Structure 1
Amino acid sequence: MGRVLGAGIIGCGGIATAHAEAYRRASRARLVAVCDIRRERAVAMAERFGVPRYYTSLEEFLRDPELEVVSICTPHHLHASQTVAAAEAGKHVLCEKPMAISLRQADEMIAACRDNGVKLGIVFQLRFNPLYRRIKEASDSGGFGIPVLAEAMVKWYREEARYYFRDEVAKSWRGKRATEGGGALINQAIHTIDLLQWIMGPVDFLYGICDTRTHHIEVEDLAVSILRFRSGALGYIVGSVSIKPQETCLNIYGSEGAVCVRDGRITVWTVKDVKPPSEEEMKTSLTGHNAVVEDFLSAIVEDREPMVTGEEGRKSLEIVLAIYRASMEEEKVVFPLAE
């Protein structure tokens, strides 16, 4: 079996379950501890997954002698400080998206992990999906020809009472700029924005408009952006939690071919030299958080970089923050974004 790493989770809310399930399935890890400031949450997760220890103190958690790698599953504004603390304690860090709510925080996370000789991975699980990997392959090999247009549209709906005000935990951070860092873009649309920039490459400049149309929150529930990529192609982003019926689309158009994906299904594929993944490949490939965790554990054992490093996770955050600035200042924002 080889080396088995002691893993732990900080924050025992909803997304932590995906991490716990992935660690339970992984051959290179075992869950040794969980941590949450709310004791009842920590106890519930420890009991559900058979974790031997739970903590309500981050400091005590990081002193656990068996702990080697931690998943950070807390509200967005806590990611940076908890990553830095974990790195300084010598722990490898797998952090949920968005990695931070500012570029300064992201850079502090990257520096702390580098300076302490530990790995930093960011959870963008869609990059492990064979479909999007094949689109990336087509783009890198020139299969689209001259890049023309790319669209990322995340048209979702979140009911205010059940999402933003569901309980005291949700009320404490969702829908607030200081804690969530933004709204539909930084929380929901950032996965598809990550795919957009991963496939299309760096952004040159963008314009953006954000608005709050149907929720009583501080942050946007609707945003639209027009981008110019460094390649010369144009881009279009829509992120919302106010739209029904819901749909998620990623569309890439070039002079020699196009690919359109709606809700994870191919609707157009005219790239000639690269074929889409087969149904068997889609069924048998490791995807989601399982793939993210397996890759991160392998990166530690093999002493290589994880597929989505801190530097990679920073790229979609920069785009989101640039859209916020463009909307606030009502002007074009040029990259790189300066804070």
Structure 2
Amino acid sequence: MSQRNYRAAIIGTGGIAHVHAQAVLGSGRASLVAVADVDAGRAAEFAAKYGVPRSHASTEELLREERPDFVHLCTPPHLHAPLAIACLEAGVTVLVEKPPTLTLAEFDALAEAESRSTAHVATVLQHRFGAGALRLRRLAEAGELGRPLLATCLTQWYRDEDYYAVPWRGTWESEGGGPTMGHGIHQFDLLFSVLGPWREVTAVAARRARPVDTEDVSMALVTFDSGAVATVVNSVLSPRQTSHLRFDYEHATVEVEHLYGYTDEDWTVTPAPGHDEVTALWGRDRSERRSGHSGWLAAVLDALDRGEAPPVTVADARRTMEFIAALYASAFTGERVRTGQITADSPFAQKMDGTGAPWEKVRNP
């Protein structure tokens, strides 16, 4: 497989853009040719820091003058869909930070725009690409672990009131949701990448402590097509922060506990009686690399070298976005929600809070 050097650009030069810039510059396979931000001063400062030759004041100007091979979209969430569609219409592949859109309807519009374009759209969900996750999927697909039985997926983080002082945070209109949408998505996307299609969800969501419009904690019970069952917890109220996934298979328990990125040292394997061979299988091909944007970008570039859609593809990301909509629908209606149940005319396809969060109804009877 031949490799080429790609022309990359970044739109939005806030905090997460620095991680993207470092991944591009460290890849050895792409050059950062331009950045854009509505704050021209911040864009120029960012460009100077990373040796980027040009900065622009708008997406339109960047796309018109630079013609990059792909764009990293690092803006606040409410801008993701319109700017990603602009990139696709210009024939430029776009790599969108999570969450890719505010709603399932927006996501389907983005998928439709991709179908009309020669370019692709991919969502940045980097924890799929760490060495441990790759090894787990490989062993599971080979049948070495037996059937998946149950799993737990915990994103218990802490965000204080100062965090929510940023105007676009904590609102349905600009962030799309609370920790379900913007924090736990990394972990349960990894869960889905291992266990496959989810079938049904029963959930609760609550606003317990933060001055936000959205939830600040949610919990869900999930069943999968495989028959496996899982619990998913998403919180921004937890002083001891952790990201913890546990997979119980017939032949072993496989766990990872980390915060914002894992290495092989963060994974543990406990074989079931009579299956000690799993420990040896897990110990092969160990890596010291940390899960993060560099590993994800390498997978993106490999796909582009092959002429394929980069990960995480529209089909993969839609499964995750549909789960978010289903979780909110279950939490706010009290009903169990199955995959495919949220159709285009559902209020939970149009807005993640659907007909309105219960606490909003109490405040505004």
1:330 deviation in Å? 1.2
CA contact (8 A) 2:155 2:187 kept: yes
CA contact (8 A) 1:134 1:277 kept: no
Q: Residue in 1 aligned with 2:214?
A: 219
TM-score in terms of structure 2 length? 0.86
Q: What is the DSSP-based 3-state SS (H/G/I as helix, E as strand, rest coil) of the residue aligned with 1:142?
A: coil
Whole-Å Cα distance in 1 between the matches of residues 90 and 100 of structure 2? 19
Counterparts of residues 102-121 of structure 1 (less than 5 Å)? 102-121=103-122
Can you list the C-alpha shifts for 1:126-157, whole angstroms capped at 9, x where unaligned?
11111111111222223332322111001110
Q: Does 1:276 align with 2:278?
A: no
Counterparts of residues 141-290 of structure 1 (less than 5 Å)? 141-161=142-162, 163-165=163-165, 170-171=166-167, 173-263=168-258, 264=262, 265-270=266-271, 272=275, 274=278, 275-277=281-283, 281-283=286-288, 285=289, 287-290=291-294
CA contact (8 A) 1:261 1:268 kept: no
Aligned counterpart in structure 2 of residue 298 of structure 1, from 302, 307, 312:
302
Whole-Å Cα distance in 1 between the matches of residues 255 and 5 of structure 2? 41
Can you list the C-alpha shifts for 1:191-238, whole angstroms capped at 9, x where unaligned?
110011111111111111111111100111110001111112211000
Whole-Å Cα distance in 1 between the matches of residues 25 and 292 of structure 2? 14
Identity of aligned residues (%): 34
Which letter does structure 1 place at the counterpart of 2:282?
Answer: P
CA contact (8 A) 2:56 2:62 kept: yes
Inter-CA distance 248–111: structure 2 relative to 1 (3 Å threshold):
same
Whole-Å Cα distance in 2 between the matches of residues 266 and 42 of structure 1? 39
Q: Residue in 2 aligned with 1:55?
A: 56
Can you list the C-alpha shifts for 1:15-40, whole angstroms capped at 9, x where unaligned?
10011111112222211111111122
Inter-CA distance 164–195: structure 2 relative to 1 (3 Å threshold):
same
Moved more, 291-300 or 22-31: 291-300
**Aligned residue pairs, count:** 331
Whole-Å Cα distance in 1 between the matches of residues 7 and 200 of structure 2? 43
Q: Residue in 1 aligned with 2:41?
A: 40
Whole-Å Cα distance in 1 between the matches of residues 309 and 133 of structure 2? 20
Whole-Å Cα distance in 2 between the matches of residues 253 and 136 of structure 1? 13
Q: What is the DSSP-based 3-state SS (H/G/I as helix, E as strand, rest coil) of the residue aligned with 2:184?
A: helix
Moved more, 139-148 or 209-218: 139-148
* Higher RCO (C-alpha 8 Å, min separation 6): 1
1:120 deviation in Å? 1.9
Whole-Å Cα distance in 2 between the matches of residues 116 and 294 of structure 1? 23
Whole-Å Cα distance in 1 between the matches of residues 334 and 75 of structure 2? 32
Whole-Å Cα distance in 2 between the matches of residues 277 and 39 of structure 1? 49
CA contact (8 A) 1:77 1:181 kept: yes
Inter-CA distance 91–276: structure 2 relative to 1 (3 Å threshold):
same
Q: Residue in 1 aligned with 2:333?
A: 329
Residue segments in structure 2 that go unaligned for 5+ positions in a row: 344-348, 350-365
Inter-CA distance 301–136: structure 2 relative to 1 (3 Å threshold):
closer
CA contact (8 A) 1:94 1:296 kept: no
Can you list the C-alpha shifts for 1:101-145, whole angstroms capped at 9, x where unaligned?
222222222222232111222111111111111111222223332
Whole-Å Cα distance in 1 between the matches of residues 63 and 200 of structure 2? 41
Q: What is the DSSP-based 3-state SS (H/G/I as helix, E as strand, rest coil) of the residue aligned with 2:309?
A: coil
Whole-Å Cα distance in 1 between the matches of residues 303 and 60 of structure 2? 26
Q: What is the DSSP-based 3-state SS (H/G/I as helix, E as strand, rest coil) of the residue aligned with 1:64?
A: helix
